[in-house]
Amino acid sequence: MAISERNSRGGSTRYQVRVQDEIGRWYPAKTFNRKIDAERHERELLSRRDQGEAATPAKVRAMTVASYSEKWKEERRSRVSEGWRISQDQMLRDYVLPAVGDKPLLGVRSEHIGRILRQMEDAGRGGQTRLHVFQLVQSMFGDAVEYYGFLTRSPVMRRDRPQVIEAEQVFLTPDQTRTLLARVKGEYIGPAVWLAVLASLRPNEVQALRFQALDFDRNEIHIVAGFKRKAMKIEPYPKGKRAAVKPMVPELKAFLLELREGKAPADFVVAGISEPMLAHTTFYKHVVAVCKRMGLPRITPHGLRRCSTELWVEAGATEEDVIRLLDHSGAGAVRRYMHRDLGRLHRMAGSIQVASTSPDQASKLRVVR
C-alpha cells in the first residue's frame, strides 16, 4: 500500500505516501497531516507513473558523486568559513573522490562510505580527521536526500561514525606557568606567551591583535580579528562571527604598556621577525624550544590556553567564568580545559572536618530517609 500511517510523539497520526516507478525506484516520500491530502498525492504519483515518468530524472541518473559535490559546494555551504571550505576541498580531494568520485550518485551504498573510513584508518589517519570526513559526507549526502530529493535515503550510516578517543591533554601547573612567564618576559616570544596565558587568547588572535584593540582605561582586550592560516589572511570576528572581550591582568597591563611605547595604534602587539605580524610557525617553534630548554612538558601555542585555565581556576574561576574567558559557546568544550587535578582535591581534603559528636548527642540524631 502506498499510504502508511505514522504516529507522532504528540499522539497525532500522519500519513506518508511512497510510490515506486516502473523500474522500482521510489518517488520522494511525502507526509501529510490529513489522509485526504495523502490520497490526492498518491493519485498524482500513480498518474505520473502510468505516463512513464521516472522517479529519478535523467540528469540525476547521470550525475556522479564528483559532479554532485561541485553542485553541493556551490549551493549549500555558503555559510562555511573560507578556511573550512579549503579543508573540505582537501578532504574531498584526498579521501572521498578517489574512492567514489566516478560512481553514479544513485549507486553509492553504505559499504562505500565505510570503506573510505577504513582506508583512512589503515593509512594512519587520526580519529578526528576521520570524524571530519564522516561529517562532511553525512552533510553532503544528507542534502542529496533532504534538500535536493536526489536520493530517498543517505548511504552514510550513523553506526559508521568514528569514535574519537580524547587524548590526555598536556598542561603546566600554575607554578610551572609562572616560571615560564618569568623566563620568557624578556625574550622575543614573551608578549605572545603572556597574552596566550594571561588572557587565554588563541594563537590566531595573538597574531592579529593590534594596539588599538587594547583598552587600558577599562582594562580590557578586544578580540575583533584572527589570522586564518589556510586562507592566509586576517578575518574579522574570528570565532563564531562575534567579538570577544578579555579582562587585562594587572601585570599583563603593565607589560603591554611598556610594549606600546613608540608604537602606532594599528601596529601588531606581537611583531614578526622580518614581517609586521608574528608567524605561527615562529610562535610554535619558540614555545616548544623554551619548554624544552626549561625542562617543562612540551606545550604548543594552543596548549598555553590550558595553562591559562589552571591559573584562573586557582584564582577561583568557576566553569561559567572559564566559558567566558575561553569564549566558548557551552560547557562541553570547556570541560576539556578544566583538568582533573588531584592536587586540588588533596588541598580541599585538608580543610574538610567532621564535627565530633558525643555519644549522648549521637543517640539523638535521626537518619532522614
Contacts of 39 (CB under 8 A, 6+ apart): 3
Asked whether 308 and 324 are in contact (CB, 8 A), the reply is no
Asked whether 64 and 32 are in contact (CB, 8 A), the reply is no
The backbone region for 214, taken as left when phi is positive above 0, alpha when psi lies in -120 to 50, beta otherwise, is beta
Measured CA to CA, the distance from residue 100 to residue 92 in angstroms comes to 10
Contacts of 317 (CB under 8 A, 6+ apart): 309, 325
Strands (E) across the chain are located at 3-7, 13-17, 30-32, 214-215, 220-223, 225-228, 233-236, 244-247
Q: Which residue has the cell 522500482?
A: 24
Contacts of 106 (CB under 8 A, 6+ apart): 56, 60, 61, 63, 150, 151
Digits of tens for pLDDT over the chain (369 positions)?
Answer: 588 888 877 778 999 888 888 777 778 778 899 999 999 999 998 998 888 887 777 888 899 999 999 999 999 886 777 788 899 999 999 999 999 999 999 999 999 999 999 999 999 999 999 999 999 999 999 999 888 888 878 999 999 999 887 666 788 999 999 999 999 999 999 999 999 999 999 999 999 999 999 999 999 999 999 998 888 889 887 566 668 889 999 999 999 999 999 999 999 999 998 889 999 999 999 999 999 999 999 999 999 998 898 888 888 888 888 888 887 665 555 555 555 554 555 555 566 666 555 555 555 545 444
Contacts of 229 (CB under 8 A, 6+ apart): 83, 204, 280
pLDDT at 367: 45
pLDDT at 365: 45
**C-alpha dihedral over 44, 49, 53, 54, to 10 degrees?**
110
Measured CA to CA, the distance from residue 251 to residue 179 in angstroms comes to 14
Distance of CA 1 to the CA centre of its chain: 44
Measured CA to CA, the distance from residue 175 to residue 177 in angstroms comes to 5
CA quadruple 143, 148, 153, 155: dihedral sign: negative
pLDDT at 361: 56
DSSP 15-75: EEE--B-TTSPBPPPEEESSHHHHHHHHHHHHHHHHTT--SS-HHHHT-BHHHHHHHHHHH
pLDDT at 261: 94
* DSSP 8-class letter at 269: S
Angle at 41 between CA 36 and CA 46, to 5 degrees: 125
Asked whether 141 and 269 are in contact (CB, 8 A), the reply is no
- Residue 130: closest CA among 154, 84, 95: 95
Asked whether 195 and 209 are in contact (CB, 8 A), the reply is yes
pLDDT at 304: 94
Cell of 323: 566559558
Contacts of 152 (CB under 8 A, 6+ apart): 25, 26, 28, 29, 145
Cell of 331: 560547557
